[in-house]
Structures are given as C-alpha cells and as structure tokens.
Chain A
Amino acid sequence: MPGLLAAAFALAWAIAHHGWLNPYQQQILMYVGINVILTASLNLVNGYMGEFAVGHAAFMAVGAYVSSLMTVRLFPFQAAPYLFPLALVAGGAAAGVVGLLVAFPSFRTRGDYLAIVTLALNMIVKSAIENVEAIGGPRGFLGMQRLTSLPWVFASTALALYVLRNFIHANLGRGVLAIREDEVAADLLGVDTRRVKLYAFVLSSALAGVAGGLFAHVVQFINPRSFDIIRSTEILVMVYLGGIGSLAGSVIGATFYTVALEWLRFLGQWRLAIAPLLLVLLMILRPTGIMGLREFVGLVPRDERGLRGRLARLGYGTVDSGGGAAPSAPEGSASPHGPA
C-alpha cells in the first residue's frame, strides 16, 4: 500500500510538473480529489454515524476564507507557496472549531433536528460572510495565487482517507458505528456518545475546511454563493451516490459524479436535470448507493481484515440501512459491519 501511494504521488507530481494532461484535465482531477475529501468526511457523520447533516458547505466556506486570508493578507507573497500547508491546516482548524459549535446543539437534538441545525449553520455562515465587508462581502474575495496543485490535492486526499480509515477502525469509530445502530443502546453499553459525536463532528468539519482551502486556491476566487445550500446538496448527492458507510464508496461517488457532470457538459443545462434524475433512480433501485457498506481492501487496516471479513461473508454485519433508520442486523449478530 505505501508503495502504491508513493507511485501515485510520483505520478501526480509528474503530471503537474511535465504537463502530461492539459490544464483542464488537471483541474478536473483536482476537483475530484477535493470532492473525495468532502464526501468522505461527510460520510463519517451521515454514513457511519447515521446522523443527517446537510450543511457541509459551511465548513468548506470557513476553511476557504481562513486559508485564503492567510495566504493573501498574512503571508509574504514569495513565501506563500511554502507556507500553503500551514494555511490549509489553519483553515481546517477553524472549520473544526465551527464544527464544535454545531456539535453542542446536536447533542440536545436527534434525528431530523441535526439536519435543521446544520442547515441553519449553512445559512448563517453564508449570511455572515456576506455581511463582512473586510473580506469582500457578497462580492467575494480574490487575490489568491494558484497554490493548489495535483500533488497537494493528492497528498491531502490520501491523508484524509488515511485519517478517516484509522478513526473508523479505532475504538472511537466503533462507538460511531454503535451510535448509528442504536444510540440509546450504545450509551447503555458504556459508549461515551457525547465524546464520540464531538470527535466525529470536529474531524468531519475540519477535513471539509481543508477541502475548502484547496478549492479556494484552485479557483482563486471565492464568494459566499460558492458555499450555499446548493453546494451542500451536491456533497450529499455524492455521499449517497457512492454509498453510505463506505470510504471506497465516497471515492467512487465523488469521482463518478464529478467526471460524469463534465462528460454531460454537451447537454448544456439539461445535464443538471439528468443528474438528480439518475440519483432518484439509484435510490429506488439501489438505496445503499454504489458501494453501500462495502470497502476496498486497502481502506481497511490489516488486522481488521480476517474475522470481520469472514463474518461478513457469513451474512453477519451486513446491514441494509445504516442511515439512522431501523437497525436491522440479523438476530444475534453483535458484530458491527464487516467489510465484504
């Protein structure tokens, strides 16, 4: 796995350095990576934890604005390319802090109310940015250099997936899955549900902030409208297209959606009408998304593969919903969802 990653990173570097793909194709690849981060991080909350958060673009906005402010206003022009990772981390941290603010009201509420809280947050963040003249208000903010490159996107995406993978398969992650199946039962079994939710929310929002920072430095122009509820909906679509509770699904969903929308460009405005129609069809025919709880081998830690894999093949731990709805594992399967 590390060898494969190193080779992929070298390839990403070579493409960017030697211009093997034209700038348009490179840009699409970068969007794919950014969308993978967004999708995978939202999947932690929506897919693995079974909550329903809808305002992911808010965290992206915080990350985009904070990191852009740093590279444009704080860092000297020449040093900005070297300090770029610092800006990304700061953007992620700021988004994480905002995620903390969402986590608290969400403890008091359950189910659909998290949707409302995150939706309200999305509106509030957008409206707040519009009202601050110092960062351009509704006109937006520009002046960023094009600091995001393919290797940066690749490294961030790989790191995000790695962190999420380890989180999900750590003790905290088992708590996350337990909350999805039944929050009350998880609480009774000694899962510190507040702490688990807090960590999951903060991690998810921080990663979205990093993605926002990358996004801002690709397009070099951000305005509040880039982070409205329509963008959030798009992220949701990618999550459910790929499959809930699956990192591989997030990768596939984000890639498929991003690339397909580019391919369909010849349809003009109709392409945006066809994409949601496909989503509706997908939900009716295959409600768990393309991957639906299955995982690629590389995205499961090695010591997790044996027993859980066998249990999954025996039919234990394959759950149809995972969406915060009724838990429906077969009788007696105490084991959570194994990768197939």
Chain B
Amino acid sequence: MQFLAQQIVNALQLGSIYALIALGYTLVYGVLRLINFAHGDIFMVGAFLAFFAAVLLDLPFVPTLLLSMAATALLGVLIERFAYRPLRNAPRVSAVITALGVGLFLEHFTLASVGAQPRHLPPLIETVVYRLGPVRVTTVHLVIFIVAVVLMVVLDRIVNRSLTGMAMRAVSWDKSVVPLMGVSVDRIIALTFAIGSGLAAAGGLLYATAYPVIEPYMGVLVGWKAFVAAVVGGIGVIRGAMLGAYLLGMVEILVAAYLPSTYRDFIAFGLLLILLVFRPQGILGRREVQKV
C-alpha cells in the first residue's frame, strides 16, 4: 500500500510532464489537423535551451523556465512560418512529412552542434524530502506538479475564456469563415504554435529536472508517448490530453514497479492498441461522422 502510494506520486510527476507535451500536440491538431511530428524534438530543444540558460547564464529555476519557454515558442513560430505555412493548402500528407523532416532536422542539428554525449542539468531546485506518512514527496515532485498544473489551468483559461481562445476554437471549427469575422488566421495559428512549443519547453525543463540527463534523441520516445497520450484522451480535446497523459504516466509507472521495467513500452502501447480498437476517437473525443 505504501509502495503503491509512492508510485502514484511518481506517476503524477511523469504524467504532468507528458501532459505539457501532449497539450502541444492536441492544440496544433485541433487548429490545423496536423500531427506535428516535430513536437517531441521541440521538447528536446526546450530542454537544451534550459540547460544552456542554467549553465551558461547561471540562472535560477524560474528565469530558466521563462527564458526557455520564450525561446522555444519563437522556434515554434519560425517552424510554422517557414515549414508548415507554405503547405497549408497542400495535401495533408505533405505537411506530415514536412513535420517528420523538421523533427529529424532538429535532432541531427542538435547532435551535430552540441554532440552526442548526454548532458546533466545542474540541480536548480534544492531537494528537500517531505514525509507524508510513509510516502516520500520531494520538492522536485512538488515543483513539477505545481508548474504543470498552473500552466494547464492558464491554458484552459486562455482557450475557454479569452477572445483569443475563442478565435482558436473558431479556427479549429472552420478555417474558411474565420477571416470573415476579422480574425487573422495566420496570427491565431502562429499563436497556437507559440503556446504549444512553450509548453513543450516547460515539459523539457521539468523532464530534465526529474531525470537529469538530456541528449539529442530524448525527444523521440517522449514525444511519441505524449502523442499517444493525446490520442488516448481524444486528440484535439484539451482536457482529454491531460487525462490521457496522467493515465499513461500511471500505466508506465505501475508496469515498471510491478513488472520488469523493460515491459513498460510493450504494455503501454499494447493498451493503446486495445483502446483504439474499442474507442478509436479516444476517451473524451467525439466520433467524427463522415458525411457523404
């Protein structure tokens, strides 16, 4: 029981990180219907930017977070401007392939410029261990959880309560009529990329805080898993992405805790397949009816 409670704390930590990345997938998918396969690598770049901010500029945690989020948001906007926007009216597959290409470019550009050896993020948060009864909760757990929840609440507010959010939802509903309302679709899409990439950077810093090794390929697996989380929750649905991320985190941690840890991916993806057979639209997703 004590062991289980401890694992749940760990799962909340992993789930929070997945959630921040999954939100980027789901935002971009919701607005552009594009699976942004480069998103995992944007997460990786965010982690590296945070690393350099922490090491070279010697910044503490919060400025590091803000700086890497801002820089990565800019990167997201640039990628959208130069790689995706020219293809907005092209077949969807071209955009998906471009996304794959951008992801590979980010990986190998990082590999070539900073090298393949794993780096260690210096500890930005002083680790203090609290004991809630038998369960160990560290400041790292708390900071990750709090930062993730704050960002998610802010995002939820932006999307559901603000005018910008209304415009985002409108673009996601029907891109062709939005300009008639005097809203610039380009600006909304750029903003979506900025928010999604910024959240990914936050995920990158938190990931590097919890598991302090960063390397150029770290985004591949984590990115795919966040994508899986977004799909499980129902891609395009923001609360679904959060739910899916915490579920996936829970499954992974529990599998690793009770079975040999090498079974983690096997079981996580197996469950995904089973879920898709029964509920292809995800848990909170709505079934899209195809009109003929």
Interface-side segment among B103-111, B118-126, B196-204? B103-111
> Does A127 have its Cβ within 8 Å of any Cβ on chain B?
yes
| Contact A120–B280 (Cβ < 8 Å) | no
Instruction: Known A119-B224, A237-B100, A268-B112; judge A127-B266 contact (CB<8 A).
Output: yes
B100 & A105 in contact (Cβ 8 Å cutoff) = no
Q: Which of A126, A269, A322 has the most CB of B within 10 A?
A: A269
Q: CA A113 – CA B87 in complex, angstroms?
A: 22
B224 touching A273, Cβ below 8 Å: no
Q: Is the CB of B104 within 8 A of A272?
A: yes
Q: Mark B261-291, 1 if CB is under 8 A from A, else 0.
A: 0111110011011001100100000000010
Q: Is the CB of B35 within 8 A of A115?
A: yes
- Determine the residue in chain B with the shortest Cβ distance to A104: B277
Contact residues on A (Cβ < 8 Å of other chain), bracket: 35 or more
Q: Which A208-257 residues sit within 8 Å CB-CB of chain B?
A: 229-230, 233, 236-237, 240, 244
Q: Which residues on the A side are within 8 Å of B112 (C-beta)?
A: 268-270, 272-273
Contact of A284 among B87, B92, B273 (CB under 8 A): B87
Partner among A123, A185, A230, A240 whose Cβ is within 8 Å of the Cβ of B269: A123
Residues of A within 8 A of B263 (CB): 127, 131
Chain B nearest CB, measured from A194 CB (Å): 15
In the docked arrangement, what's the CA distance between A103 and B104, Å? Answer: 28
Give the complex CA separation of A283 and B235 in angstroms. 25
Neighbouring A residues of B273 by C-beta, 8 Å: 105, 117, 120-121, 124
**Contact present for A117 and B100 (CB under 8 Å):** no
Answer whether A273 and B93 are a contact pair too, CB < 8 Å, given A105-B277, A124-B269.
no
Is B75 interfacial (CB 8 A cutoff)? Answer: no
List of A residues within 8 angstroms of B265 by Cβ: 123-124, 126-127
Chain A minimum-CB-distance residue to B104: A276
**A110 vs B289: C-alpha distance when bound (angstroms):** 11
Tell me the count of chain B residues lying within 8 A, CB to CB, of chain A: 44
A312 at the interface (CB under 8 A from B): no
- Who on chain B is nearest to A322 by CB? B91
Report the Cα distance A237→B105, complex, angstroms: 12
Contact with A along B80-124 (1 / 0, CB 8 A): 000100110011111111101111110011011000000000000
* CB pair B94 A323 closer than 8 Å: yes
Q: Which of B87, B97, B276 is the one whose CB lies under 8 Å from A240? A: B97
Do B91 and A323 have beta carbons less than 8 Å apart? yes
Contacting pair B91 A325 (CB below 8 A) = yes
Closest to B83 in A: A280
Q: Which residues of A contact B270 (CB under 8 A)?
A: 120, 124
- Structural contact, B262 and A130, CB atoms closer than 8 A: yes
Q: At the interface, yes or no: A128 with Cβ under 8 Å from chain B?
A: yes
Residues of chain B within 8 A of A240, CB atoms compared: 93-94, 97
Interface flag for B228 (CB, 8 Å): yes
Least Cβ–Cβ distance between B280 and chain A, in angstroms: 4
A93 and B98 alpha carbons, distance in the complex (Å): 33
- Which listed residue (B35, B90, B272) contacts A112, Cβ 8 A? B35
Cα distance, A229 to B41, chains bound together (Å): 14
Q: Is the CB of A273 within 8 A of B108?
A: yes
Given contacts A233-B104, A276-B104, contact A323 B266 (CB under 8 A): no
Q: Which of B91, B98, B109 contacts A280 (CB 8 A)?
A: B98
B111→A233 contact, CB < 8 A: no
B101 touching A283, Cβ below 8 Å: yes
Q: List 9 A-B contacts (CB under 8 A).
A: A109-B276, A120-B269, A120-B272, A127-B262, A127-B269, A237-B100, A240-B93, A284-B86, A284-B87
Q: What 10 A-B pairs come out closest when comparing CB atoms?
A: A323-B93, A321-B91, A276-B104, A325-B91, A272-B108, A127-B266, A273-B108, A287-B94, A279-B101, A269-B112
Known interface pairs A269-B108, A284-B83, A324-B92; 6 further A-B residue pairs with C-beta atoms within 8 A, sorted by A's residue number: A109-B276, A116-B231, A123-B265, A233-B100, A276-B108, A323-B94
